[in-house]
Structure 1
């Protein structure tokens, strides 16, 4: 499969040639970069077809994994991102810059390979009017590790990073000034060491007040890049990132299960349990709710909800006058999400966001600014600035529907002033 992909991309690049802008169905270009010591290296560019040369392009710097190292200038896009760009070429809006790491080496900050990556990035931005404020960094496997390390070493250069199939070895405090937006993708069935390190790093980031997106695919093997790089939600998220832009809700309070259960209240007879140091689990098959103190201003709540056959989860909002709105999440062949208010449909959830729901853990994010609600499901914007018929202040509840014995929540993060609790 990798060989076939190499041949297809080689034909595409050969048809485009090495000079002049791409057009129509030929978006790939090759370039040769000359380093300070006079040596040369080949790299590949993806330039959106039919682009407006006067419009600044968002940029992705892609770093290949160990298996694609070499000096041919092509193999680096043979096994993952290159094929996805080719399939998405009709609409893919990014200038993608793809250097190649040399044999038996990695993208170590300060190394010749890292300097090559930053050099070709600057060259491509100049040639194709890339937007230096919208440059994101990604890589697969060892390329993902390199992407994170280069981002840490160059904190003012990038708007976001999205490593694939790699553990995060950096400290959350290693990036000065502001937390870099990060979306990490990996498989739950990858090597036990990678999965353990990725989960540990995630918790450290939460404890440091960050709330990065993390997608843990419910599948085995090392290849999380096919699912990640083909996700429209990822590219929608990238288009929203800009260098120097801060999260208005940061920092977040990470409520470990025991703390969350202690601070939030459950209905009479509705006991919730801390399952280890990650999970909040309602026992039994009856309906159970765990409710926050009242929010007294703008707020955000991020939580993971487990879905699967027979699973359902609900996040409810209610006011002191009895008004109530519920975001119901049910896994089906297409996914199903619905926002209801007082038993009636309040607004239609984006259909693509519904299909973003998947078996296993789902990242659910609700935030309210000036009384208007926005919702993200696994990074996809499901609702934006919806005005709900609720009086201020409001409380939020995690709800396990009746008849479901397997629903669990984890990694509860909260931002905003609440009655009886600190930000």
Structure 2
């Protein structure tokens, strides 16, 4: 072990349990790495900095690490005790500022969000809050630089989490996903994540984007490291009985792909065990982006009405999306009809998977490599390429595991593949994703 900050979740947990590494030593190493690599911390970002962190809670982190060492010394601490964590700046922490990386929100919650309360009960050490695209409403997070190339997007909206993981400033982080916000930064930064089945993860105390689409989830450098984080987030032990996922289908939604992405997909398909099947597509619309935006922006508008008197404080793209929702003026009748259409699509996909005995659908996470950063806050829909594949699985609420499928030989940037399953297949997908990652390997800037 050259530097404890390089450790992943499981390796750190093992060394902490063995008492060959203290929680304080690990926290100090991560804090030193933040100071060495993150650069200038700012609201708008700096072209020479990663700027993953909104706020770092150094004193609190060291105090929490000391408390974790006391628990570890007794020999019966939870598996994640002493492991450092970064929270997306949507997750409420009692007594700490919560801003959603925006100049609009400025609050100090009186209670922890349920997700952080569960991680805190495990003895995890909070290092700070990580940048999000303002109010999670975008796929870029342009105030954050991608560790692979600072002029490239780190993805969004959980861009700070992806960048902090890729640059090895923290072994574990959280994100949220409404249109791809766990998976887009993971793909563009070369890290791993799981978007759990819709409704499994606790949302109370997390700043919402669109409540019927929002998913909280864990992010880490490997799929295997995501498993204990998901267990802590859900407040349950991982499923012991895993179903081998042996029949898979290539997604019927794939269109134009960057050549590096296409090659990454071929690498993943070549490494997957089992039988590839080629059934006809399910009887559903495969492009429902307009309907998706209608519902998401309507739900977003409901939350943001409380800030109507501060509309000018939003970045231009966020303000434009709110104005779009107002112009659309979706009626309650339209909204209910849209949710009905969504429910029919979910049922049709479930029927299709069952009829053809398909264990998982394989799809590139993104059709592109990380784009040049800079337009995400000026143009409300500059991120459509980023979310063109990911948004659909928030429409259905299905679980998705995303992991790197290599580094593009043209771009030198990471590419990613996603494994999609039926509702409730979360643990099976994690096992399949970990097995695939053992064949493909990990990537690092």
TM beyond 0.5: no
More relative contact order, 1 or 2 (CA 8 Å, 6+ apart): 2
For the pair shown, which has the larger CA radius of gyration, 1 or 2?
A: 1
More strand by share: 1
The alignment's TM-score, normalised by the length of structure 1, stands at 0.27
More helix by share: 2
